[in-house]
Amino acid sequence: MKTIPARHKGKRLAKTILVINGPNLNLLGTRETAIYGSQSLADVEAALGEEARARGLTVHCFQSNHEGALIDRIQAARSEGVDFIIINAAALTHTSIGLRDALAGVAIPYVEVHISNVHGREDFRHVSLLADRAVGTLVGLGTAGYRYALDFAANHTVAPAGGATVWLAAKSSA
């Protein structure tokens, strides 16, 4: 049972979480396995779904190879009441002002995930157009990064009227 400190009164924990994966992540499990591992995207999403069910969360997963489809999905999240976004924008991380603006536009807190350690790879992967506005980033932890991000999201408080969000510092009382 989680206790919410007094300063978070009136806020609630995030319940509905959207997991977004960008271009080529549909190839997980067969794509450059030395870098991205052998788990498929279906495996990753199934594990997140199971974890979500066990915690009483709702997780929606979406993957697309198309920038516009990803932007449309992010825009739809606001009217769906999504509390938190976990996003691996893949190559679009390094190039897409459109995705950055969509995330800023819906004002839903997000964590950026990268399976590989982008900072140990080519220079062009060191730049993220999403990172400075993210609550945080998880980089280089393999596909486990998605699970850690879900754990983080589940402990994130959101204002009831869609206002500012606050990281819940004090965790479990049990």
Q: Give the binding-site size for ligand DQA (rule: CB under 6 A).
A: 10
Q: How far is the CB of 41 from ligand DQA (least distance, A)?
A: 11
CA 167/CA 126 separation, integer angstroms:
26
The answer to whether the CB of 41 falls within 8 A of the CB of 65 is no
Supply 70's token pair.
């990803």
Query: Tokens 């992010």 map to which residue?
Result: 74
**How long is the chain?**
174
Q: Which residue from 47, 76, 91, 135 is in contact with ligand DQA, where contact means CB under 6 A?
A: 91
d(CA 151, CA 51): 9
If the CB atoms of residues 7 and 126 are measured against ligand DQA, the closer one turns out to be 126
Annotated active-site residue 36? The verdict is yes
Does residue 148 bind ligand DQA (CB under 6 A)? no
- Which candidate in 36, 60, 146, 156 is catalytic? 36
The CA distance from 117 to 55, in Å, is 29
Site residues for ligand DQA, 101-140, by CB under 6 A, read 114-116, 118, 125
User: Would you call 15 helix, strand, or coil by DSSP?
Assistant: coil
Which residue among the candidates 60, 114, 146, 156 is catalytic per the annotation? 114
**Catalytic residue list:** 36, 114
Residues near ligand DQA, by CB under 6 A: 24, 88, 90-91, 93, 114-116, 118, 125
